[in-house]
Amino acid sequence: MSGRRVLITAGASGIGLGLAKRFAAEGDQLAICDADGDAIAQVKAGHPDFIAHHADVTDEAQMDAFLAQVEDVWGGVDVVCANAGIGGPAGRIEDLDYGAWRDCVGVNLFGAFLTCRWAARVMRAQKSGLIILTSSTAGLFGYPLRSPYAAAKWGIVGLTKTLAMELGGANVRVNCICPGAVEGDRMERVLANESAATGTPIEDLRAAYVDCTSLKSWVSVDDLADMALFLASPAASKVSGQILAVDGHTESIN
Ligand code: NAD
């Protein structure tokens, strides 16, 4: 039992829940938040040992309540995964709605702020910790028709580099994982949006997501959990400020 205290935002489904289950299987304690109250209730039912809180990462009052609860119960934190993000709208910038743009950048980038601010305060005081942010291959390439998502995910890369420099002297590591296309519900929604925006059949888009990678492969949630567990292990004790793609090596995005 490693017994690390691991906090994951957007942890009630998708990648966040997959990470939570893998850390829990290592014997770690878990605290998750999610904007979906029903999904949180389901996690609570299946994992009564998790701290599971209904909170939107962009809502300061909700996040303050969640983070205060975690601090009360644990008195500190070892690993924080700022994982929450939404796909946002698909379309040329001239056709995008400002509200949809703001929501996308808001969840993907502003949402990381409240989580990282709290993690930095707690970890600096305890002189240890690891923050893992989630960007995307969209944070490594230009991504036509997904401008708010790409802008936000490049922002996460900048935040990672900067926080690694601000916190390194306090023995806090900060890294970023860039998933490629991950099998699951979220990518099915992205494919449907992109197909509607371009008129390209979904199956052609699905094939294109694989064709642009060297390994010609989709990514699984377990592939991402493997990287997060490596980062949280002693083997990664000198790994900080890194932008780690888990994507089968994306060669280009069309
Ligand atoms: P998902 O769409 O499956 O959503 C997972 C959870 O996020 C849901 O339970 C949802 O309620 C929650 N959530 C959404 N907005 C929230 C908010 N404002 N506050 C709190 N919770 C919120 O997403 P996912 O596929 O698990 O993606 C997780 C992260 O990985 C995101 O940052 C995403 O951008 C990134 N990512 C995903 C993929 C992919 O292919 N799925 C690829 C690259 C990067």
Rounded distance from Cα 44 to ligand 1 centre (Å): 19
Range scoring the smallest mean pLDDT among 14-23, 181-190, 234-243: 181-190
Q: Decide if 83 contacts 11 (C-beta within 8 A).
A: yes
Asked if residue 254 has pLDDT above 80, the reply is no
pTM: 0.96
Mean local confidence (pLDDT), 19-31: 98
Spatial separation of the C-alpha atoms in residues 3 and 31, rounded to whole Å: 13
Which stretch of DSSP H or E encloses residue 5? strand 5-9
Q: Is the pLDDT assigned to residue 32 strictly greater than 80? A: yes
pLDDT digits (tens, 9 = 90+) for 195-233: 998 999 999 999 999 999 999 999 999 999 999 999 999
Q: What is the pLDDT of residue 197?
A: 86
Mean pLDDT, the chain, as a whole number? 96
CA of 219 to the centre of ligand 1 (A): 15
Domain boundaries along the sequence of the chain? 5-246
Quick: pLDDT tens for 121-177.
999 999 999 999 999 999 999 999 999 999 999 999 999 999 999 999 999 999 999
Q: Whose CA is nearest to atom 33 of ligand 1?
A: 85
Q: Which helix (H) or strand (E) holds 29?
A: strand 29-34
Residue 127, pLDDT score: 98
Is 149 an annotated catalytic residue? Answer: yes
Q: How wide is the angle at C-alpha 160 spanned by C-alphas 179 and 191, nearest 5°?
A: 25
User: What residues line ligand 1, using a CB cutoff of 6 Å?
Assistant: 9-10, 12-16, 34-36, 39, 56-58, 83-86, 107, 111, 134, 136, 179, 181-182, 184-187
Active site residue 153: yes
Instruction: Please work out, in degrees rounded to the nearest 5, the angle formed at the alpha carbon of residue 56 by the alpha carbons of 50 and 59.
Output: 130
Q: pLDDT for 109-121, tens place per residue?
A: 999 999 999 999 9
Residue nearest to atom 39 of ligand 1 (CA): 182
Select 5-246's CATH number: 1.10.150.240, 1.10.3720.10, 1.10.10.970, 3.40.50.720. 3.40.50.720
pLDDT digits over 86-102, tens only?
Answer: 999 999 999 999 999 99
Range of weakest confidence among 9-18, 72-81, 201-210, 235-244: 201-210
Using the predicted structure, report yes or no on whether residue 1 has a pLDDT greater than 50. no
Using alpha carbons only, give the angle 227, 11, 237 rounded to the nearest 5 degrees.
30
pLDDT at residue 68 is higher than 70: yes
Q: What is the pLDDT of residue 2?
A: 66
